[in-house]
Amino acid sequence: MATKTVYYIEGDGIGPEVWKAGRPVIDAAVEKAYGTENALDWQLLLAGERAFKETGEHLPKATMDALANAELAFKGPLNTPVGKGFRSLNVTLRQVFDLYACIRPIKYFKGIESPVKRPDLVDMTVFRENTEDVYAGIEYQSGSPEAKKLIEFLVDEFGAKIDATAGVGIKPITPAGSKRLVKKALDFALEQGKPSVTLVHKGNIMKTTEGGFRAWGYELAEEEYKGRVVREGEDGEGVIIKDRIADAMFQNVLMYPEQYSVIATTNLNGDYISDALAAQVGGLGLAPGVNMGDKLAFFEPTHGTAPTIAGKDMANPGSLILSGAMLLEHIGWHEAANLIHKAVEKGLADKKVTVDLAAQISGSTQVGCREFGEILLGNL
């Protein structure tokens, strides 16, 4: 019997609701596929608002110690204040445990009424760099002593033209960070038989950071993947590596989605484009994800805490359930993962769905979070 330990955090807002509705589906898929041979051992960890209430800390030491030795973890959405308070707990977890790749597969589910004409052509996996760029940036507020000092230094030493009242930030992107992210994307493309990897950047404007990401990606392909990866427009066989400027790429994934398969990009670009792609195929309610390093894989639904509907039995547990399928695929339990995908497809075809999906499926019946979970459970 194989038992895999999964540390999990319920999350804030709708987190407890989607966990209660979604986890039984994941466990039942494992049981149906393997009987008692395989099982997931779920170990609760505290983080976020519940942790603060019980321990006085948003990320207790016990939680961080457990994750330091973990291989599999799963969490619900965690609250991040806007404009004040602590910086994102999500970002903290990614940086502390070096979860440098945010991986999000985006694929159309039949039955969803998409805002685009051919959502069925969308089948992409986004590899978003997780530890650098503006998410690891250094910021100083307008008028602060730090901002004034930095502006004076840039003006005096380098002749920069910056308004003295500006808020300022520093955006770090490194060769090593860029290359390991692109490597993960290229390895995935080769393993899964994908046709291409597209480097998405804004290197025409930010030449040394975004442009650096592009250049270092190509360098990696040439250094480590000769004979297996070929640059767009060059002769040869293998996975095609190409690049697109970020704003053009947003247009291209709307107009020519069939031309793109695997996307490797910087942190902020990845944040935007992964959500935009999710909107093309049904929204964040069906968008799974994982933050992955070389040791720890941290799975999570990609939506936020949705405080306006928390406690109202309106949330969609689909993203969490499909993230569970990603976890099962990651550990090689493909049969159980396939059962989940089929259960979701049947649920959409039967048109009994949560409010976010009901708005996109004509003739559907709206059900609550709990009932939708029970429907998917029954579909197994």
What's the pLDDT tens digit per position in 118-143? 989 999 999 999 999 988 889 999 99
CA angle 330, 94, 252 (to 5 degrees): 70
Examine the domain organization and report whether 24 and 52 are in the same domain.
yes
Nearest-angstrom CA–CA distance, 289 and 103:
6
Examine the domain organization and report whether 138 and 183 are in the same domain.
no
Q: Which amino acid is at 327?
A: L
Q: Confirm if 47 and 60 have CB atoms less than 8 A apart.
A: yes
Examine the domain organization and report whether 124 and 259 are in the same domain.
yes
Rama region for 274: left / alpha / beta (φ>0; ψ in -120 to 50; rest):
alpha
pLDDT, tens digit (0-9, with 9 covering 90-100), for 100-116: 999 999 999 888 888 88
Domain that holds residue 155: 134-172
* 239 has pLDDT over 80: yes
Distant-in-sequence, close-in-space partners of 218: CB < 8 Å, separation ≥ 6: 199, 231, 241, 243
Examine the domain organization and report whether 102 and 144 are in the same domain.
no
User: Among all residues, which ones are annotated catalytic?
Assistant: 135, 202, 247, 271
Summarize the confidence of residues 314-335 as an average pLDDT: 95
| Predicted TM-score (pTM) of this structure | 0.89
Examine the domain organization and report whether 126 and 210 are in the same domain.
yes
Tally the C-alpha atoms within 13 A of residue 124's C-alpha that lie toward its C-beta: 32
| Pick from 25-29, 54-58, 177-181, 366-370: least confident | 54-58
Examine the domain organization and report whether 125 and 254 are in the same domain.
yes
* 84 has pLDDT over 50: no
Examine the domain organization and report whether 248 and 148 are in the same domain.
no
* 86 has pLDDT over 80: no
Examine the domain organization and report whether 212 and 309 are in the same domain.
no
* 152 has pLDDT over 80: yes
Q: Confirm if 284 and 271 have CB atoms less than 8 A apart.
A: no
- Count of structural domains, the chain: 3
CATH number at residue 246: 3.40.718.10
In the three-class reduction of DSSP (H, G, I as helix; E, B as strand; rest coil), residue 147 is classed as helix
Which token pair is 284?
């964040």
Summarize the confidence of residues 256-284 as an average pLDDT: 92
Helical ranges in 35-77 per DSSP H:
49-55, 61-68
- What does DSSP assign to residue 112? -
Looking at 238, 255, 281, the residue that finishes a domain is: 281
Examine the domain organization and report whether 12 and 96 are in the same domain.
yes
